[in-house]
A and B are shown apart, each in its own frame.
Chain A
Amino acid sequence: MAIAMRVRADNGDVRILMTHPSENGLRKDAKSGQRVPAHFVKNMTVAVNGKTVLDGQLGGGMSKDPYHSFKVRGMKTGDKVIVTAEDNTGDKGSIETTVS
């Protein structure tokens, strides 16, 4: 299943929200008492006009629905931003936007 994401970029700032359970493999299900298998985003990239500005390795310690916001020097209106993500099960997602 594709990883769903939303992205906004303006005023030198990129904000990304992913929809993902972010399970670290240690949590026990309240009903069954069984450990919920690890399921988290492992890699993300953000490129502005084709140049990678963030290449992230992530662990299961990210909160559910991982959120990132960061500032990029020199980013301007009309620049193209592409975000990609991949989790530990091989599911992938990508989204692009134009800096407003």
Chain B
Amino acid sequence: MMNTTRRLLLRSAASAGLIATAIAAGMLKPSRVLADWNSVAFSATKAADALAAIGASSAASSRDIVVKAPDIAENGAVVPVEVVTTLPDVESIAILGEKNPFPLVALYTLSDFDGFLSTRIKMGQTANVRAVVKAGGKLYTATKEVKVTVGGCGG
């Protein structure tokens, strides 16, 4: 019994040492080890894969989020998108153009967020714009369909 505990302690001490060395060598940045840029999510070519890569596959539809975007976008290169929510304690917001070549457009980590975020995205074709909001540790989502007459994603 004693011996097992001692072995475990030695082992964890050794791995802690390795991590400290990695941080010292600049291989790991302590403050941004996870959040730097989610290349898996941003490189995903299907909305479902992008959502999975940001851990948002299980987001529940919510009426407390409104995605505002034009019904028809004549220029898919500039589609104004607003995310308005009454959810308290918002921690992050993701915005996706679901049929874009790379659906994930932006992922924001937020503090002191006051319910409104607006940006402009490109859309390749008629599709849903999806917002995923993490609030109070839970995931919520809403969409708005935008009809695109001239796509703005190249190809």
Residues of A in contact with B (beta carbons under 8 Å apart)? 12-13, 22, 24, 26-28, 35-36, 42-43, 48, 51-64, 66-75
Q: By the criterion CB–CB under 8 Å, are B105 and A71 in contact?
A: no
Q: In the assembly, what is the distance between CA of A53 and CA of B114, in Å?
A: 10
Q: In the assembly, what is the distance between CA of A73 and CA of B85, in Å?
A: 13
Chain B interface size, as a band, is 35 or more
Minimum-distance CB pairs A-B, first 9: A27-B154, A71-B114, A61-B105, A63-B120, A70-B117, A73-B114, A55-B109, A71-B116, A26-B154
Contact of A68 with B117 at beta-carbon distance under 8 Å, contacts A26-B155, A73-B112 already known: yes
Q: Digit string of B79-123 for contact with A (CB within 8 Å is 1, else 0)?
A: 100000000000000000100111111111111111111111110
Q: In the assembly, what is the distance between CA of A75 and CA of B111, in Å?
A: 12
Q: By the criterion CB–CB under 8 Å, are A74 and B112 in contact?
A: yes
Q: Which of B107, B120, B155 contacts A57 (CB 8 A)?
A: B107
Query: 5 A-B Cβ contacts within 8 A?
Result: A57-B38, A59-B42, A62-B120, A63-B120, A68-B117
Q: Which of A13, A55, A61, A69 contacts B97 (CB 8 A)?
A: A61
Residues of B in contact with A (beta carbons under 8 Å apart)? 35-38, 42, 77-79, 97, 100-122, 152-155
Q: Which of B114, B121, B154 contacts A72 (CB 8 A)?
A: B114
Most chain A beta-carbon neighbours within 10 Å: one of B97, B102, B119, B152: B119
Instruction: Report the minimum CB–CB distance from B83 to chain A (whole Å).
Output: 9
Contact of A24 with B102 at beta-carbon distance under 8 Å, contacts A57-B37, A62-B120, A67-B120 already known: yes
Contact of A42 with B105 at beta-carbon distance under 8 Å, contacts A24-B153, A53-B110, A67-B120 already known: no
Residues of A within 8 A of B117 (CB): 68-71
Q: In the assembly, what is the distance between CA of A71 and CA of B78, in Å?
A: 22
Q: In the assembly, what is the distance between CA of A39 and CA of B131, in Å?
A: 24
Q: By the criterion CB–CB under 8 Å, are B111 and A24 in contact?
A: no
Q: By the criterion CB–CB under 8 Å, are B153 and A71 in contact?
A: no
Most chain B beta-carbon neighbours within 10 Å: one of A35, A61, A64, A69: A61
Q: By the criterion CB–CB under 8 Å, are B108 and A59 in contact?
A: no
